[in-house]
Amino acid sequence: MGNNKVLTSILLVIYLSQYGYVSTTSSDNVDVDEGADGVCGAQGEMSMSSSSLLRMAELEERIAQLEETVVKKYPEVKFLTYQDRKRILITGGAGFVGSHLVDRLMLQGHEVSVADNFFTGRKRNVEQWMGHENFELINHDIVNPLYIEVDEIYHLASPASPPHYMHNPVKTIKTNTMGTINMLGLGKRVRAKVLIASTSEVYGDPEVHPQGEEYWGHVNPIGPRACYDEGKRVAEALSYAYQKQEKVDVRVARIFNTYGPRMHMNDGRVVSNFILQSLQNQTIKIYGTGTQTRSFQYVSDLVDGLIALMNSNYTQPINIGNPEEHTIQEFAVMIRDLVGGTKSEIEHVSPVEDDPQKRRPDITRAKKELGWEPVVPLRVGLEKTIAYFRKELQRSSHSERNIFHPTQHNYHDTDNVIRIVKKGG
Ligand SMILES: NC(=O)c1ccc[n+]([C@@H]2O[C@H](COP(=O)([O-])OP(=O)(O)OC[C@H]3O[C@@H](n4cnc5c(N)ncnc54)[C@H](O)[C@@H]3O)[C@@H](O)[C@H]2O)c1
């Protein structure tokens, strides 16, 4: 008898005994008449001893305890009909951006598969969905082909921060070239739309400011960042080659610097560095003069932009970023103030090779074609990120969880901000 049947029988016996349908005898046997369909014959008399009842009660308690450990509660996902529900593959879905995209698409009611080799991603970024019938996690390196039936592919797999992508430059190039070929090949085979996560790094150290999509870039092809910058440029070139030659329906998102909860603690980027240094009362290190600029977008804005792009008919590259620009010095001071109560000093150290001096997206195209623009104020996003990092630092054992729940983005933070700019407006 399966576990459920045992449980049903026990519960039935206990229930019936309350109403006098089960008589207790001196025998230790429980006479439960099981019909051909496996359901107890309630009409036949059942008898059991008081010790059996006691044992059953103990068993019932034990089962309830076990159920508590295995029954998992998931965030409520929307119900979509068969026609509306899409099968979506997210490569790199266990990483920082990918995991937030997983959350949003799962909440929308789609079936989401993640393919990740866990180089920089972590299972715990998506643990909230493990076991959900709409979710699947595949341990897969996209340098190898993947055979799966899907309607859409968000291709995000690639290390994104300089220490990670410089760690194994050859692998970074393989992931962005061979991995992209594999995903475009899959898109061709199953006729899925493919969205490539490109980057503002395709503009290199830009000579135009702000950077619009028509700008071809200023990239050093043999510098330390080339494995990533050139890898992404090839990924873009491949996308349009597959579009032209194989009629693959492609989307290319040029993503600008993004921050938020679940960022890797050691990703070596400005936001995570400054937050960690401030939280730990360490010196905040600025590479160079600090007059170089960056524009940071909060991760939920990026996720909105990626989904809007996938759902649009626009196939040319499109910048997804926040045009609010600050110097690195300003970021350091702002983050130190938001962390509060820190003794961190700001120190300037030697500049990094090929570090772009100015970075700010021109998002006219995204506004016009997607009706998208970022809405989360820098201060709000930074506070959420600092809270996440603070909890992360407080962890001292594996069982202490620091889970950023999918609903914590609290999108209504931004309810009073108009997200949809009228198309063409
Ligand atoms: N975060 C940003 O500021 C930013 C900016 C521009 C572009 N992007 C792009 O967005 C995407 C996601 O970036 P992120 O910040 O989430 O980075 P991340 O490092 O957190 O996530 C990347 C994910 O890809 C996985 N991965 C790497 N190589 C793989 C391989 N060969 N096979 C399978 N999985 C692999 C990693 O394990 C990780 O889960 C990347 O393509 C990145 O280039 C990010």
Segment 268-273 mean pLDDT: 89
Give the confidence band of 257 by pLDDT, cuts at 50, 70, 90: very high
Nearest atom of ligand 1 to the alpha carbon of 125: 39
CA dihedral 327, 278, 414, 93 (to 10 degrees): 100
Q: For residue 7, what pLDDT is reported?
A: 61
Q: For residue 216, what pLDDT is reported?
A: 96
Cβ count near 369 (within 10 Å): 18
Q: How far is CA 304 from CA 103, 310, 322, 323, 376, in A?
A: 12, 10, 13, 16, 11
Q: For residue 239, what pLDDT is reported?
A: 98
Q: For residue 26, what pLDDT is reported?
A: 42
Q: Supply the residue whose CA is at minimum distance from atom 11 of ligand 1.
A: 156
Cβ count near 224 (within 10 Å): 15
Q: For residue 424, what pLDDT is reported?
A: 37
Rounded distance between C-alpha atoms, residue 425 and residue 416, angstroms: 19
The model's pLDDT over 41-61, given as tens digits with 9 standing for 90+, comes to: 444 444 567 888 888 888 888
Q: For residue 35, what pLDDT is reported?
A: 38
Q: Where are the beta strands (DSSP E) in 301-343?
A: 318-320, 325-327
The more confidently predicted of residues 241 and 341 is 241
Closest CA to 157 of 184, 175, 136, 170: 175
Q: For residue 359, what pLDDT is reported?
A: 84
Rounded distance between C-alpha atoms, residue 131 and residue 138, angstroms: 13
State the burial class of residue 242 (Cβ atoms within 10 Å of its Cβ: 0-12, 13-18, 19+): buried
Q: How far is CA 158 from CA 38, 75, 118, 151, 389, in A?
A: 53, 28, 10, 21, 23
Rounded distance between C-alpha atoms, residue 368 and residue 353, angstroms: 36
What's the per-residue H, E or C state across 232-291?
HHHHHHHHHHHHHHHCCCEEEEEECCEECCCCCCCCCCHHHHHHHHHHCCCCEEEECCCC
Rounded to the nearest angstrom, the distance between the alpha carbon of 96 and the centre of ligand 1 is: 7
Q: For residue 274, what pLDDT is reported?
A: 94
Q: Is the peptide bond before 210 cis (omega within 30 degrees of 0)?
A: yes
Residues above pLDDT 90, as percent of the chain:
67
Q: Is 411 a catalytic residue?
A: no
Rounded distance between C-alpha atoms, residue 259 and residue 299, angstroms: 6
Q: Name all residues whose Cβ lies below 6 A of ligand 1.
A: 91-92, 94-98, 116-121, 141-143, 156-160, 164, 175, 179, 197, 199, 255, 257-258, 264
The model's pLDDT over 122-171, given as tens digits with 9 standing for 90+, comes to: 999 999 999 999 999 999 999 999 999 999 999 999 999 888 999 999 99
Q: For residue 370, what pLDDT is reported?
A: 97
Q: For residue 310, what pLDDT is reported?
A: 98
Point out the catalytic residue in the list 228, 242, 259, 298. Answer: 228
The model's pLDDT over 401-417, given as tens digits with 9 standing for 90+, comes to: 787 888 777 543 333 33
Q: For residue 91, what pLDDT is reported?
A: 98
The model's pLDDT over 316-333, given as tens digits with 9 standing for 90+, comes to: 999 999 999 999 999 999
Query: What element of type H or E holds 392?
Result: helix 378-394
Rounded to the nearest angstrom, the distance between the alpha carbon of 289 and the centre of ligand 1 is: 29
Nearest atom of ligand 1 to the alpha carbon of 198: 7
CB 58 within 8 A of CB 89: no
Rounded distance between C-alpha atoms, residue 230 and residue 54, angstroms: 71
Q: For residue 266, what pLDDT is reported?
A: 81
Q: For residue 37, what pLDDT is reported?
A: 41
Residue 354 has pLDDT above 90, yes or no: no
Closest CA to 298 of 373, 364, 229, 358: 373
Q: For residue 116, what pLDDT is reported?
A: 98
Q: For residue 3, what pLDDT is reported?
A: 53
Rounded distance between C-alpha atoms, residue 245 and residue 381, angstroms: 42
List the chain domain ranges: 3-70, 87-414
Rounded to the nearest angstrom, the distance between the alpha carbon of 119 and the centre of ligand 1 is: 9
Q: For residue 11, what pLDDT is reported?
A: 63
Ligand 1 pocket check: which of 89, 122, 158 to mutate, most ligand atoms within 8 Å of Cβ? 158
Give the confidence band of 285 by pLDDT, cuts at 50, 70, 90: very high
Give the confidence band of 14 by pLDDT, cuts at 50, 70, 90: low
Rounded distance between C-alpha atoms, residue 311 and residue 386, angstroms: 32
**CA–CA–CA angle 10, 13, 19 (5° rounding):** 150
Q: Supply the residue whose CA is at minimum distance from atom 21 of ligand 1.
A: 95
The model's pLDDT over 162-203, given as tens digits with 9 standing for 90+, comes to: 889 999 999 999 999 999 999 999 999 999 999 999 999 999
Nearest atom of ligand 1 to the alpha carbon of 119: 37
**CA–CA–CA angle 150, 174, 294 (5° rounding):** 90
| CATH 3.10.28.10 for the 87-414 domain, yes or no | no
The model's pLDDT over 329-350, given as tens digits with 9 standing for 90+, comes to: 999 999 999 998 888 899 999 8
SS3 helix, strand, coil % of the chain, rounded to 5? 40, 15, 45
Rounded to the nearest angstrom, the distance between the alpha carbon of 67 and the centre of ligand 1 is: 36
Distant-in-sequence, close-in-space partners of 52: CB < 8 Å, separation ≥ 6: 28, 29, 30
The more confidently predicted of residues 1 and 73 is 73
Rounded distance between C-alpha atoms, residue 157 and residue 115, angstroms: 8
| Listed range (17-21, 30-34, 149-153) with the worst mean pLDDT | 30-34
The model's pLDDT over 203-228, given as tens digits with 9 standing for 90+, comes to: 998 899 999 999 999 999 999 999 99
Give the residue ranges of DSSP H helices in 120-263.
Answer: 162-167, 169-190, 226-246
Mean pLDDT for all residues in the chain: 86
Give the confidence band of 358 by pLDDT, cuts at 50, 70, 90: confident
CB 57 within 8 A of CB 116: no
